[in-house]
Amino acid sequence: MNYLLLRAANGKKTERTPVWLMRQAGRVLPEYRKLRLKAKSFKNLVQTPELSAEATLQPISAFAVDAAIIFSDILVVPEEMGLPYTMIEEKGPVLEKTIKNKKDINRIKIIDEEGISYVNTAISIVKNELNNRIPLIGFSGAPWTLFAYMIEGEGSKIFSNAKKFLYTQPALAHDLLDKISKSVINYLVAQVKHGAGIVQLFDSWAGILSPEQYQEFSIPYLEQICKKLSTMVPVIVFAKGAFSSLSDIAILPSSVIGLDWTMDINLARKWSKGKTLQGNLDPCLLYADYKTIEKKTIEMLQRFGSHHHIANLGHGLYPDTEVGKVKCFVETVKGFKP
Ligand code: CP3
């Protein structure tokens, strides 16, 4: 398929820069709020393929982006491994049980080659509806980020329990990271078999590890996943806050490096070994007026240059962003002539 986004991901020249947004599905659209009410709960929305397929497609009509991303959550992986979560309104996810010791790790199951069936079904529905217009992005949390939630049990600014585990029980940490990585590989391969044309790994909590810890507890697991998935589709590694680990990320067998807005584009170009870069506007820019959004978007596009770039924000859209401002960002990218 001659998809613009996949060509850019594969390092080919493109007639314009492709664009999508992290967290484009849900959050800012009034039609998403309606669907969310109809589904009763976030989990029900995620687990009902017809509904999650609809949530996936909403931003395609609303924003005319160059890719769809399957509507789901990174926490479906810990849940499938035996740690169910509840999504608490205004707070976020809370896991009912957490991992504390070896016994807990032994009890955890590895997701098998079937992957997660409701995600597979949602992907098949979306793939059919998209009718090859744009590619579908599959995703998973990266092992370190999933590990952080599995130990901590909820969101946190510092994840001190998860980090304590790395310092006090490093061998056990590796055992758990290994089980998570095997699960992620099977989960993502199943997504690709059902129609995902590219996958993104969200290492949202990369930035709280030292470069040495990132090298020990994240990179080897990203490597295992990229090695397998790259034989099938392009892989995007988005490690938020991991600027000092970019040169390690650059040598992974993956195609695209996601950048957050704190990362310097010129330095990233130097360290990224010619890989395609994705990003990286501050999601808060979309609170500014239209003129400022246009100006900053164009400046970003000029800094990245006209090739080897997928335009995106540097993290997910914030829920209180105006729909018109999102459209302004997308249209500015699409109308840009270098
Ligand atoms: O990109 C997309 O549009 C696809 C959907 C998607 C969701 N979550 C839906 C969602 C994706 C890719 C995610 C990934 C995710 N989930 C990450 C990694 C990306 C990142 O933001 O760093 C993380 C850390 C999570 C865990 C998570 N899910 C949290 C902390 C929360 C609560 C706070 C928040 O962001 O709203 C969620 C809930 C969530 N996941 C919502 C959506 C649309 C909002 C829930 C609702 O509808 O009420």
Give the dihedral sign, CA 307/132/325/25. negative
DSSP 59-87: HHHHH--S-EE----TTHHHHHHT--EEE
For residue 338, name the pLDDT band (cuts at 50, 70, 90).
confident
- Tokens linked to 269: 């170009």
Query: Best substitution site from 41, 47, 73, 238 to test ligand 1's pocket, by max atoms within 8 Å of Cβ?
Result: 73
Q: Mean pLDDT across the stretch 284-312?
A: 97
Ligand 1 pocket member 324 (CB < 6 A): no
Residue 252 near residue 219, CB atoms below 8 Å: yes
34 contact partners, CB below 8 Å, separation of at least 6 = none
pLDDT at 189: 99
241 contact partners, CB below 8 Å, separation of at least 6 = 205, 206, 207, 208, 260, 262
**Known catalytic membership, residue 112:** no
The mean pLDDT value of the chain amounts to 97
Kindly tell me if the per-residue pLDDT of 15 is higher than 80. yes
Ligand 1 pocket member 202 (CB < 6 A): yes
Q: Which residue has the CA at smallest separation from atom 31 of ligand 1?
A: 92
Kindly tell me if the per-residue pLDDT of 302 is higher than 90. yes
pLDDT at 222: 98
Residue 314 near residue 257, CB atoms below 8 Å: no
- Structure confidence by residue, pLDDT tens digits, 170-215: 999 999 999 999 999 999 999 999 999 999 999 999 999 999 999 9
DSSP H helices in the chain: 4-9, 30-39, 42-47, 49-63, 76-81, 102-107, 117-130, 143-152, 160-168, 170-194, 211-217, 219-229, 246-250, 265-271, 290-304, 323-335
Question: Do the strands 92-95 and 85-88 form a parallel or antiparallel pair, or are they unpaired?
Answer: antiparallel
Domain 4-335 belongs in CATH node 3.30.160.20: no
Q: Mean pLDDT across the stretch 82-91?
A: 95
pLDDT at 1: 74
Kindly tell me if the per-residue pLDDT of 157 is higher than 90. yes
Quick one: how far is CA 234 from the chain centroid?
13
Report the C-alpha gap between 114 and 145 in whole angstroms: 23
pLDDT at 26: 82
Distance 315 CA to ligand 1 centre (A): 11
- Structure confidence by residue, pLDDT tens digits, 109-146: 999 999 999 999 999 999 999 999 999 999 999 999 99
pLDDT at 3: 97
pLDDT at 119: 98
Distance 42 CA to ligand 1 centre (A): 10
Kindly tell me if the per-residue pLDDT of 318 is higher than 80. yes
**Known catalytic membership, residue 36:** yes
For residue 67, name the pLDDT band (cuts at 50, 70, 90).
very high
Q: Mean pLDDT across the stretch 148-157?
A: 97
pLDDT at 27: 82
Burial (CB count <10 Å: 0-12, 13-18, 19+), residue 172: middle
Q: Mean pLDDT across the stretch 65-79?
A: 98
pLDDT at 231: 98
Report the C-alpha gap between 66 and 82 in whole angstroms: 35
The verdict on pTM exceeding 0.95 is yes
**Known catalytic membership, residue 73:** yes
pLDDT at 39: 97
**% of the chain at pLDDT higher than 90:** 97
224 contact partners, CB below 8 Å, separation of at least 6 = 181, 185
Distance 334 CA to ligand 1 centre (A): 26
Distance 109 CA to ligand 1 centre (A): 23
Burial (CB count <10 Å: 0-12, 13-18, 19+), residue 119: buried
pLDDT at 197: 98
Q: Which residue has the CA at smallest separation from atom 7 of ligand 1?
A: 73
pLDDT at 217: 98
pLDDT at 115: 98
236 SS3 class: strand
179 contact partners, CB below 8 Å, separation of at least 6 = 81, 105, 108, 110
Nearest Cα residue to 162 out of 249, 170, 212:
170
pLDDT at 232: 98
